[in-house]
Amino acid sequence: MDSTSQILIEVLLDTISYWYVIIPTIFLGLIVGGIPGFSAANTIIILMPLTLSMNLETGLVFMVSLYCSARMGAGIPAILVNIPGTAGAAATPLDGYPMAKQGKGQQALAISFVASCLGGLLTTIIALATMPILARVGFYMHSVEMIVVMLFGISLIASIAAQDMVKGLIAGFLGLMIGSIGTDVVYATPRGTFGFLELYDGVPLIPALVGLFAVSEAFVIIEKKVIVTHEGDVKKANWHDTFEGVRIALARWWHIVWTSVIGLVIGVIPGAGASIASFVAYQQSRSFSKTPELYGTGHPEGLIAPESANNGVTSGTLVPLLVLGIPGGATAAIMLVVMQFHGVSFGPSLFENQPKVGYGMFMAMAVSYVLMIFTILPLSRYMSHVTTIPTIYLAPMIISFTLVGGFVPREYMFDMYLALAFGVLGYIARRTGYHVAAILIGVILGPLLEKYFLWSLKKSDGDLMVLFSSTLGNILWVAFAMSIILPIFFEMRRKRSRGVPAE
């Protein structure tokens, strides 16, 4: 047995010995992720004194476990009550919530948990094995390449618009317009702020998220007795539905694999994040599906794609942190502070001088995902009964929690009013047939697309051909074009094959 394998076994056994830290942290992360506006990042900040008082290994195990479980927890309210806990779960309700309304909430939760755990576990192993290669992805992904990555996510608007082209595109463009509010990237000139200083940094994401999805959904469901479409769909808690959800997810194991790898690659890019990964994975899943018309109606693959992708991001964000000392996201940035406090030096030497720290973070992630399967999966049979709570009680609770969630990130009262304003906008959109997900995609990805586009033009003195000046960028352009053209070709071929017997 070589020295590396021996070190990995030692680190694995050492990590398992921290089970008494990991299991309570999993449940804490589940609660934190399920509350809109809260996340692993701001929870770790609140608990920073506790984390710094721990020894380094215990502190890292705690932070990594919280990070993983909070990511999974964000999908629970997204499925049950159409409220994404974080931006990374914004694509989860597209198919998760329709399943819950059909009385399949228990199956949807089981599918989500299995996809999240397997996606996170798989990408953790891949990241550990290919770390030197993945670390270089960040060096090659510049503004030109990021533009194409953004377009992958924004093209999801067109997929949503396929049901009603005019309304879908109007909703998407409205989101892009809202996303442009704030100071512009080049000259820092205020745009559309209406004199509100709170909007100078742009529209805050969490109030927009909870308003468009949570508050508007509360307004809608209060008109019904319960969330489920038909009261006859309500079932008693049973293990059969949980195991059926597990079976559905495992039968689509290949879907979990390739969508989680999308999350891993995007997670390695500093600043990209889970929201981009989930939208890109959902768009790619729908584009290459044999049944794209089922997406948005409660299709399992539409739930698997964003959940496996946003959990694939978790291991990706650790790669640039450990190898380059560059945090891949907000939670990784806080981990960086804690590790610097304990005098950790980053780079390839970390895995030689302090292997328990370098390898230990990935092992903590892997062990956390394994333990989640046994601790969280059995809870799906009880969680699903949120959909049976009378809406006269559920709607006020949703509005109260989400308004607090909108306040937490920046601690401005303005953000609570903004969440209510987005709630009214979302309610009007739902009642008039416009898709709130298309609006949210524009709000999230629009400003990022503008930023990278202007950076590219600034570096090239305004030459648009800079968009095709990169070899990797051109490869991504071809992939983007193929992801748009091939589904159209496949759909035409399916229609032609269905038409032959009819003739």
Average pLDDT over residues 23-36: 85
pLDDT score at 381: 72
What would the two tokens of residue 58 be?
């215990």
pLDDT score at 503: 43
**DSSP per-residue string spanning 193-238:** -TT-GGGTT---HHHHHIIIIIIHHHHHHTTSSSSSSSGGG-----
Q: Please name the residues in contact with 383: beta carbons below 8 A apart, sequence gap of 6 or more.
A: 76, 80, 105, 106, 109
Side chain identity, residue 485: I
Closest C-alpha to 135, from 367, 363, 346, 344? 346
Residue 238 vs residue 285, higher pLDDT: 285
Instruction: Please give the Cα distance from 156 to 252 (Å, whole number).
Output: 22
Closest C-alpha to 82, from 392, 386, 406? 386
Distance of CA 192 to the CA centre of its chain: 28
Residue linked to tokens 């694999």: 257
Q: Quick check: 233 pLDDT over 50?
A: no
pLDDT score at 409: 75
Instruction: Please give the Cα distance from 275 to 385 (Å, whole number).
Output: 27
- Residues paired with 190 in a beta bridge: 183
pLDDT score at 114: 93
What would the two tokens of residue 284 be?
């790619």
Highest mean pLDDT among 117-131, 203-217, 405-419: 117-131
Q: What is the pLDDT of residues 264-297, one digit of tens each?
A: 988 887 767 788 889 889 988 988 888 888 888 8
% of the chain beyond a pLDDT of 70: 90
pLDDT band of residue 2 (cuts 50, 70, 90) is low
Give the 3-state secondary structure percentages of the chain, helix then strand then coil, rounded to 5.
75, 0, 20
Q: Please name the residues in contact with 132: beta carbons below 8 A apart, sequence gap of 6 or more.
A: 323, 348
pLDDT score at 247: 92
pLDDT score at 48: 77
Q: What is the pLDDT of residues 316-373, one digit of tens each?
A: 888 888 877 777 677 887 888 788 888 877 776 777 777 778 888 889 999 999 999 8
Instruction: Please give the Cα distance from 419 to 218 (Å, whole number).
Output: 13
pLDDT score at 225: 65
Per-position b or e across 466-477, b if 16+ CB within 10 A of its CB: bbeebeebeebb
pLDDT score at 259: 94
Q: Quick check: 231 pLDDT over 50?
A: no
What would the two tokens of residue 70 be?
């909070």
Query: Is there a contact between 275 and 87 (Cβ–Cβ < 8 Å)?
Result: yes
Q: What is the pLDDT of residues 32-56, one digit of tens each?
A: 887 776 777 777 877 877 887 888 8
Instruction: Please give the Cα distance from 19 to 306 (Å, whole number).
Output: 28
Residue 491 has phi, psi (to 5 degrees) of: -65, -40
- Give the chain's mean pLDDT: 82
What would the two tokens of residue 126 be?
């891949």
Q: What is the pLDDT of residues 368-398, one digit of tens each?
A: 999 998 888 887 777 766 666 777 777 787 7
Average pLDDT over residues 199-209: 85
Side chain identity, residue 100: A
Q: Quick check: 133 pLDDT over 80?
A: no
Closest C-alpha to 416, from 406, 425, 408, 424? 406
Instruction: Please give the Cα distance from 210 to 201 (Å, whole number).
Output: 19
Listed range (101-105, 216-220, 271-275) with the worst mean pLDDT: 271-275
Q: Please name the residues in contact with 228: beta carbons below 8 A apart, sequence gap of 6 or more.
A: 100, 101, 102, 103, 105, 234, 387, 388
pLDDT score at 242: 85
Domain boundaries, given as residue ranges, for the chain: 3-502
pLDDT band of residue 135 (cuts 50, 70, 90) is low
233 HSE (CA, 13 A, CB side): 19
Average pLDDT over residues 429-444: 85
Q: Quick check: 502 pLDDT over 60?
A: no
Residue 182 has phi, psi (to 5 degrees) of: 125, -165
DSSP 344: P
Query: CB count, 10 Å around CB of 326?
Result: 17
Do the bridges between strand 190-191 and strand 182-183 make them parallel or antiparallel, or are there none, so unpaired?
Answer: antiparallel
In degrees to the nearest 10, what's the CA dihedral of 94, 99, 100, 105?
Answer: -120
pLDDT score at 467: 87
Distance of CA 479 to the CA centre of its chain: 22
Closest C-alpha to 363, from 66, 12, 25? 12
pLDDT score at 25: 92
Residue linked to tokens 């770390």: 131
Listed range (20-34, 232-246, 400-414) with the worst mean pLDDT: 232-246
Query: Is there a contact between 49 and 9 (Cβ–Cβ < 8 Å)?
Result: no
**DSSP per-residue string spanning 134-194:** HHTHHHH--HHHHHHHHHHHHTHHHHHHTSSHHHHHHHHHHHHHHHT-EE-TTT--EES-T
Query: Is there a contact between 259 and 310 (Cβ–Cβ < 8 Å)?
Result: no
Residue 183 has phi, psi (to 5 degrees) of: -90, 140
pLDDT score at 232: 44
Q: Quick check: 112 pLDDT over 70?
A: yes
Distance of CA 358 to the CA centre of its chain: 25
Instruction: Please give the Cα distance from 292 to 486 (Å, whole number).
Output: 12
Listed range (55-59, 81-85, 145-149) with the worst mean pLDDT: 81-85
pLDDT band of residue 226 (cuts 50, 70, 90) is low
Answering whether pTM is above 0.85, one says no
Listed range (291-305, 380-394, 403-417) with the worst mean pLDDT: 380-394
pLDDT score at 333: 78
- Residues paired with 182 in a beta bridge: 191
